[in-house]
């Protein structure tokens, strides 16, 4: 396990400087401590095929220790097993469980898709949240899972089939134009936007931060705005949308919401989830402050989640 000082030396200087611009020194230390070493293996029980009690019994039989997650009854934190070890289990092979970070489970929980609703997952691969939503909807309704990249689309289809999510249709296309194709069609939209991935940085793994740059952040902001407009267009009046990223900077999070409030007829909704290791959104706007920011930790990746409601045609 690295020290906070060692983490500072390994991660990009500009990234560290940005953290100190946006957060208190104490919060920066918390963030960097969450990037010191490997994160716990976490999983979600696929309730289309099983239930958490059955899965807990099977894990016990295999000598795997776990901890329940207070804010999500179908999630488990494993104490003595790696992802590779879990992938050898029959319950993994059969799609009864899905290896997924805890933070990644939050956006569907905030969106709360229900049975028989029409839901859009605008940037869906590899399908973690798509299959979670199908389970929450009890495999009843319709989900359009859109993905631009053809190879990632194949992985998305594989995971959907493995999880038995029969209500999902996969679309290989540009998210920016889905709104025009499905104008005012969906009850709910999930936009887990492509982002710079700062919340997933691990100082022990250069692959997690090697490609980060300020220029990349600026390019992603342009794409995020286009995708948010498309998501808004696809949403019915009165419909709800979740915007989320796994990054930490204001440009891709709070500033996107501040822009959206000015440009689109939306309001932000309160998030009714109590999760450890969160801090308020960084904004003067009281609406934007309703968003939820999860800091990186041993159990969670850094994440940002906001819930929006479409007010007009």
Nearest to 126 by CA among 96, 101, 109: 101
pLDDT digits (tens, 9 = 90+) for 139-164: 999 999 999 999 999 999 999 999 99
This prediction has a pTM of 0.97
Residues 6 or more apart in contact with residue 163 via CB below 8 angstroms: 46, 48, 49, 95, 98, 127, 131, 134, 135
The pLDDT mean for the chain works out to 97
pLDDT digits (tens, 9 = 90+) for 175-200: 999 999 999 999 999 999 999 999 99
pLDDT at 313: 61
Q: Biggest alpha carbon distance in the chain?
A: 55
pLDDT digits (tens, 9 = 90+) for 283-304: 999 999 999 999 999 999 999 9
pLDDT at 251: 98
Beta bridge partners of 241: 189, 308
Enumerate the domain spans of the chain: 42-99, 103-310
Identify the segments of the chain with pLDDT beneath 50: none
3-state secondary structure of 268: strand
Q: 42-99 — its CATH code? A: 3.30.70.1170
Catalytic sites, residue numbers: 246
Class of the CATH domain delimited by 103-310: alpha beta
CA 186 – CA 276 distance, rounded (Å): 32
pLDDT digits (tens, 9 = 90+) for 257-270: 999 999 999 999 99
Beta-sheet pairing, 186-192 with 292-294: unpaired
């Amino acid at each position: 396990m690295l020290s906070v000082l060692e983490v500072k030396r390994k991660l990009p200087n500009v990234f560290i400087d940005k953290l100190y611009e946006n957060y208190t020194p104490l919060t920066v230390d918390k963030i960097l401590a969450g990037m010191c070493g490997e994160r716990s293996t976490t999983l979600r029980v696929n309730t289309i095929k099983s239930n958490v009690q059955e899965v807990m019994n099977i894990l016990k039989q295999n000598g795997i220790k776990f901890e329940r997650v207070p804010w999500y009854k179908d999630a488990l934190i494993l104490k003595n097993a790696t992802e590779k070890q879990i992938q050898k289990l029959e319950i993994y092979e059969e799609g009864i469980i899905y290896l997924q970070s805890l933070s990644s489970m939050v956006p569907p929980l905030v969106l709360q898709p229900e049975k028989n609703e029409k839901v859009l997952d605008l940037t869906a691969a590899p399908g973690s949240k798509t299959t979670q939503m199908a389970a929450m909807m009890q495999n009843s309704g319709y989900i359009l899972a859109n993905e631009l990249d053809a190879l990632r689309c194949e992985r998305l289809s594989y995971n959907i089939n493995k999880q038995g999510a029969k209500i999902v249709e996969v679309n290989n296309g540009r998210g920016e134009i889905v709104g025009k194709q499905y104008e005012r069609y969906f009850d709910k939209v999930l936009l887990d936007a492509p982002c710079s991935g700062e919340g997933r940085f691990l100082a022990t793994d250069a692959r997690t931060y090697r490609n980060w740059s300020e220029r990349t952040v600026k390019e992603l902001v342009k794409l995020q705005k286009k995708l948010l407009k498309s998501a808004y267009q696809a949403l019915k009046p009165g419909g709800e949308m979740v915007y989320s990223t796994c990054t930490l900077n204001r440009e891709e999070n709070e500033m996107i919401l501040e822009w959206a409030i000015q440009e689109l007829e939306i309001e932000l909704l309160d998030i009714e989830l109590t999760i450890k290791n969160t801090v308020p959104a960084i904004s003067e706007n009281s609406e934007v402050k309703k968003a939820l920011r999860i800091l990186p930790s041993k159990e969670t990746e850094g994440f940002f989640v906001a819930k929006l409601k479409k007010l007009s045609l």
